[in-house]
Structure 1
Amino acid sequence: MKGGVVLRLLLYWLRALRASIGVLLHLAERALHRVPGCQLLRALHPWPRDRDGAPTSRRIVATWQRGAAGTGDWSKIQEQPPRRHVDGDGTCIHGPESQLPATSSLQSLFDGAGRLDLAGLRKVVYETGMDASERKVTWKFLFGVYPADSTTEERRRLDQQLVARYRSMKNAWKQQFPSAKRMKVQSDLELSLAIMKYEQQEMEAAKVPAEHGLWLQSINQPQFWASLRDIDADVPRTDRHRSFFQRQGLVKLLYLREILITFAAFHQDIGYCQGMTSFASHFLETLDSEFDAFWCFVNCMRHWAPSLTAQGVACKIQTTEELLRHVDPELHHHIARTSKERLLFCLSWLLLRFQRELGHEDALRVMEIGALEGDPTELAARLLPHCREGEDRSAPHRDGVSFEVLLCVALLIQHRQQLLQYQHVHDFFLFAHRLQGKLALDALRRVDRPL
């Protein structure tokens, strides 16, 4: 009984202490903002946060470091918002390096005119990765929208041209296929409300003049409608659980739809393939711009689309089998003996580059590393320098080696003891299904080749 009273008194005391500390912090915050000579003290004060949740002190320290060296006047050092170029309808056209956090080490990769050291960027991406605020800048370089030797002013003009061109392309298919403008949904009230809100926004955007001439391009009607049916089936179930798409009542899912339809209409040699929604969704969420996401997606698909076709995936599976046979003959023989489909259970991994199996941050990292691959022949030559023609015919085919293939083999080797116990093909498919959302890149870093 006495112990219970003591615990209650202790609990009340802790609550009162917490309330007192909160009041003191509030008063301190007000005082720190009012006194102009306290910038250094504010830099040492860790509690205040910006609206986006980032510690205020980080920005103040960086601003102080920049300003104190140049001016010596500490009272004039204030937080500066990111510089943005805005076009006529309010669309932000950014000077990329100005969007980097002041504390980012990537700032040093830009020269005075804004030209980027692309080799340095690629090294950072591969060795350490980047945080979300840095990706908004670097992805447009990684995925080929910005030339590395372009200046800040050149990129500003390029952004304006790309925004206008994208609007013109959207207007083109909407004029040719008016009934495709509205997404048809059934028994999905949340998405239906989002469609109504999106249409109101589009009415405002339609007041902005677009380029002419692109709408005259011939669009294959049967292929367009086939792509539209697949897109409208895939978009409603793509990442709608993430907070980014929940904001504004799923309206951003409609941005995703516009990106995919525009791409399919004007890239008829590629069209739409299942799985493209995952990549386009990551571009849209990471860049938070429909225009930027579209052009990064376009350049990405120019390199990755062949691997999304049936022939491309079959080639990946074959390469994975050859590589597995080369590094772990026992496991390869067991899978081939147990399952007639062999590595077909790895289809989703290779098709979507582990986007469903990895956590969100790791999935973005795989996309970044995939953008670094360049010529897959060079990649394979570095990984397998001992495998020369005529030296080892069991070695994997160099032309098909890619990062997701290496991840697939590493994952199989990591779980080899478990896989060697399977005696039925269904066990392999169940194993692959259970990995969704549970795979971590760090767990695959030290997968050793079996002896």
Structure 2
Amino acid sequence: MWKDTGAPTDSFYEVRPECTDVPKTRFKIKAGKTLSERKWQAAFTPEGCLDISKTLGRIQRGGIHPSIRGEVWEFLLGCFDPKSTFEERDQLRQRRREQYAIWKQECRDMDPVVGSGRIITAPIITEDGVPIQDPLVLLEANRNKDDGSTEDSQHSDGNGLQETASNDLGPNSANVAERLTDKKIIQWKLTLHQIGLDVLRTDRTLVFYEKQENLSKLWDILAVYAWLDKDVGYCQGMSDLCSPMIILLDDEGDAFWCFERLMRRLRGNFRCTESSVGVESQLNSLASITQVLDPKLHQHLETLGGGDYLFAFRMLMVLFRREFSFGDSLYLWEMMWALEYDPDIFAMYEETETLSERNEGSKGKVKSTRQCGKFERENLRNGGNNPEGNLPISVFLVASVLKDKSSKLLQEARGLDDVVKILNDITGNLDAKKACSGAIKLHKKYLKKAKKT
């Protein structure tokens, strides 16, 4: 058991010594405020039912101790019903692990690199379904065959990490490869090298990702998810959202389901068409909030040509992962999820017969606000049927950042480049708890004004 000390979380998420320009984590573990392992265990009944309301306030005040962060996140993201028992959760966890293994094998049958411990980082198929054969890989494979070696042909990325440049483990490595006709498989295979390139860039300052097995685990999960989510597939930024799950949860299947639950919240961010970007509705809401709460700043941004608020795109897309240190981004996320917590989240995500039957008896009942996060309670009190009552807290977090930088933006920004530069300066300098407090204040203020109008 880790001791509850005032140590920063950098000690839990070790940074490679040569990475000297990485922002230091501000979050400190504080006894009496941070949710500790002891307090977490005390929130369960002997059967395993969790009193979630006991934990939400503590998370909002001081975050979660890194030693229990993964298991607490599973509840915050709706993987488990707080009313479930230890036995029910064990059974559900096992079923999910088995289901993930089935899906992963399905992907492996389509491309043997999945689950092999290797990563694809170069295109393996054309858009019309013709497999791409990398001459270097084929040459290396033939050389190994000639000298009797059974070693797999691999390329190094320059850091001692081995990756595959093409699908050279299966039938596609033959001199004559069959053209694929299934459009879904073609589309999936087209994304595999994109996933690989992003994985090799994700959180590479952390010692954790010096191990090839951790990188390949991240790639496998994203590859499986891309196959299952046919509408969205894979988009840049998803690796930033998935990476913490790999680090916090030892079992790959558990990490997948935690990521899948997070994507249920955020997949709309990645749905792009020719006429709109995924976060466009949130950007529009951000513009409305700023116009109501800081009309001078909104007018100034419009004058500069930034009325579409696209400069905030990255913050919303990957939930501030690039604006905070790794440890602080986790701290920010769990505070956001605790503030937004809805006790019905598990029921909304699960469609099992048992759960449907359980919920049937609760129809028409008023939701207990005691089990809700502070942000969600405010929505229920003031939001009503107003669309503004359903906005995610992330929009108000960006609004609070703009409010803090309002004077500087008004005085110094003479073009969009200046706006971007000023906002980029916040990287590593934001206080997660202060940002959440500011978001809550703006949220309450905005809902009152929206209600009046």
Q: What TM-score results when the alignment is normalised by the length of structure 2?
A: 0.64
The answer to whether structure 1 residue 292 and structure 2 residue 254 are counterparts is yes
> In structure 2, what residue type is equivalent to 1:106?
W
What value does the CA root-mean-square deviation take over the aligned residues?
A: 3.4
2: CA distance, partners of 1:387 / 1:149: 27
Instruction: Name the structure 1 match of 2:67.
Output: 133
Instruction: Name the structure 2 match of 1:159.
Output: 93
Cα offset for 1:288?
3.1
Instruction: Name the structure 1 match of 2:120.
Output: 184
Instruction: Name the structure 1 match of 2:235.
Output: 273
1: CA distance, partners of 2:36 / 2:384: 47
Counterpart contact for 1:219–1:265, Cα < 8 Å? no
SS in 2 for 1:220: helix
Cα offset for 1:297?
0.7
Counterpart contact for 2:282–2:395, Cα < 8 Å? yes
- Structure 1, residues 222-253: CA drift from partner, whole Å, max 9, x if none? 3212332321221100002112222xx33201
2: CA distance, partners of 1:366 / 1:307: 19
Cα offset for 1:122?
2.7
Instruction: Name the structure 2 match of 1:404.
Output: 394
Counterpart contact for 2:332–2:433, Cα < 8 Å? no
Aligned residues between the structures: 327
Cα offset for 1:268?
1.4
1: CA distance, partners of 2:393 / 2:226: 26
Instruction: Name the structure 1 match of 2:195.
Output: 231
The answer to whether structure 1 residue 324 and structure 2 residue 290 are counterparts is yes
Counterpart contact for 2:269–2:278, Cα < 8 Å? yes
SS in 2 for 1:420: helix
Instruction: Name the structure 2 match of 1:444.
Output: 435
1: CA distance, partners of 2:201 / 2:227: 22
2: CA distance, partners of 1:160 / 1:146: 13
Counterpart contact for 1:136–1:287, Cα < 8 Å? yes
Counterpart contact for 2:37–2:65, Cα < 8 Å? no
Instruction: Name the structure 2 match of 1:47.
Output: none
Counterpart contact for 1:219–1:266, Cα < 8 Å? no
> In structure 2, what residue type is equivalent to 1:413?
K
Return 345-354 or 218-227, whichever deviates more: 218-227
> In structure 2, what residue type is equivalent to 1:124?
R
Counterpart contact for 2:383–2:390, Cα < 8 Å? no
Cα offset for 1:104?
1.9
Instruction: Name the structure 2 match of 1:427.
Output: 418
> In structure 2, what residue type is equivalent to 1:241?
T
2: CA distance, partners of 1:219 / 1:167: 24
Who wins on radius of gyration, i.e. which is larger? 1
Cα offset for 1:153?
1.9
Counterpart contact for 1:322–1:397, Cα < 8 Å? no
Instruction: Name the structure 1 match of 2:218.
Output: 256
1: CA distance, partners of 2:335 / 2:204: 25
Distance 1:130 1:387, change over 3 A: closer
Counterpart contact for 1:319–1:400, Cα < 8 Å? no
- Structure 1, residues 135-192: CA drift from partner, whole Å, max 9, x if none? 1321111122222122112222222222222112111111122366642346514353
> In structure 2, what residue type is equivalent to 1:154?
E
Return 127-136 or 364-373, whichever deviates more: 364-373
Distance 1:336 1:56, change over 3 A: closer
Cα offset for 1:384?
10
Counterpart contact for 1:194–1:250, Cα < 8 Å? no
Instruction: Name the structure 2 match of 1:104.
Output: 38
Distance 1:323 1:191, change over 3 A: farther
Cα offset for 1:397?
5.0
1: CA distance, partners of 2:251 / 2:389: 34
Question: Unmatched 5+ residue regions in structure 2?
Answer: 6-34, 122-154, 169-181, 346-373, 446-453
The answer to whether structure 1 residue 142 and structure 2 residue 86 are counterparts is no
Distance 1:384 1:114, change over 3 A: closer
> In structure 1, what residue type is equivalent to 2:239?
T
Which structure's residues are more often helix, by fraction? 1
2: CA distance, partners of 1:220 / 1:233: 21
SS in 1 for 2:429: coil
2: CA distance, partners of 1:56 / 1:127: 15
SS in 2 for 1:271: coil
> In structure 2, what residue type is equivalent to 1:237?
R
Q: Which has the higher contact order (CA 8 A, sep 6+)?
A: 2
The answer to whether structure 1 residue 360 and structure 2 residue 326 are counterparts is yes
Instruction: Name the structure 1 match of 2:16.
Output: none
Instruction: Show the 5 A alignment for 1:32-43.
Output: none
Return 176-185 or 434-443, whichever deviates more: 176-185
The answer to whether structure 1 residue 240 and structure 2 residue 204 are counterparts is yes
Counterpart contact for 2:380–2:389, Cα < 8 Å? no
